Structure 1
Amino acid sequence: MVLRAGLLVLGVTQAVVGLWALPAPRSFYDGFPAPGHHWVSALPPYNEHLVRDVGALSLALTVLLVAAAVWLDRRLVAITLVVFAVWTVPHVVFHSVHLHGFSVLDATAQTVGFAVEVVVAAVLAVVLVRSKAPAVHSSE
């Protein structure tokens, strides 16, 4: 239950980014995460190609996270968490050291938001490792 819920939470966060950035890259660049809080445009310049790529990557990761949540196969969940870490950790590190130009509120909100994602993924990894079953739930 914890694995499924956590994977879905991470999937929703990626879906929000992907469903905005891929079809509307300029809007995402100018307005993410909300009006008056411009986290992406604080780090110029705008590049439509890169914003669309981030959107597509986020949607691809959403598919993987949701698949892992649906099937809960131990190997699939493990691979999904590694893939999530490969994307998220460098992204978090970059943003954590590039906070100039952000208000205290935005810098804090962004950092806390990223930290929550990393902590959720880490907790899921611990839950998976402590699980004794060869597959959490498998169709094999």
Structure 2
Amino acid sequence: MTGIRPAGPKATTDRVCLVLLALVALGTGGWAYLAPARWYGSFPGFGLSWLPPLGPYNEHLAKDTGAMFLALGALAVLALLRGGVLPRVAGAAWLVFNVLHGGYHLTMLHVYGPLDQVLNLVALGLLAAASVVLVVPGRSGGD
């Protein structure tokens, strides 16, 4: 059921990026969809809580966010398994999300302390970078 997956540094890098995006999406999405109040109160975990400073809890919004992350996770997993043009398609979808999502958070950094500001920037920047890597074609111009 797997597609033809080219070998080489670009293909390996793409697979690493897809695994990263899938893990983030499925972890965040599952948590937000299955336990929305707990996700809202304690995301990203590790003793941090990034969502309450941004506004009041809304179960519908939390579950929709979870569903969206699960959809992006499914796309990343499918791209990982099938290869071909799907890694670039997944990268494009993730890039749109990550640019818009990151752009919003850049305007809201003032609600956090310095550590949380840096962690937000690093996390969001890493996801955006992984998306860009997927969109950029390999040296030969093909996948």
TM-score (norm 2): 0.85
What CA deviation, in whole Å up to 9, does each residue of 1:60-104 have, x standing for no partner?
A: 100000110111112x22221111112111100001110122111
Match of 1:3 among 14, 17, 22: 14
**How many pairs does the alignment contain?**
132
Identity, % of aligned pairs?
Answer: 33
How far did residue 129 of structure 1 move? Answer: 4.5
Q: Hey, what's the Cα distance between the residues in 1 that align with 2:134 and 2:73?
A: 16
Is the 2:75–2:90 contact (alpha carbons within 8 Å) kept by the matching residues of 1?
yes
Residues 50 and 71 (structure 1), Cα distance of their counterparts in 2 relative to 1, 3 Å cut: same
Q: Hey, what's the Cα distance between the residues in 2 that align with 1:10 and 1:95?
A: 18
Q: Hey, what's the Cα distance between the residues in 2 that align with 1:47 and 1:131?
A: 47
Match of 2:122 among 98, 112, 126: 112
Unaligned runs of 5+ in 2: 1-11
Is the 1:32–1:39 contact (alpha carbons within 8 Å) kept by the matching residues of 2?
yes
TM-score (norm 1): 0.87
Q: Hey, what's the Cα distance between the residues in 1 that align with 2:96 and 2:14?
A: 19
* Aligned twin of 1:20: 31
Matched to 1:5, the amino acid is V
* Aligned twin of 1:92: 102
Q: Hey, what's the Cα distance between the residues in 2 that align with 1:2 and 1:131?
A: 15
Is the 1:61–1:84 contact (alpha carbons within 8 Å) kept by the matching residues of 2?
yes
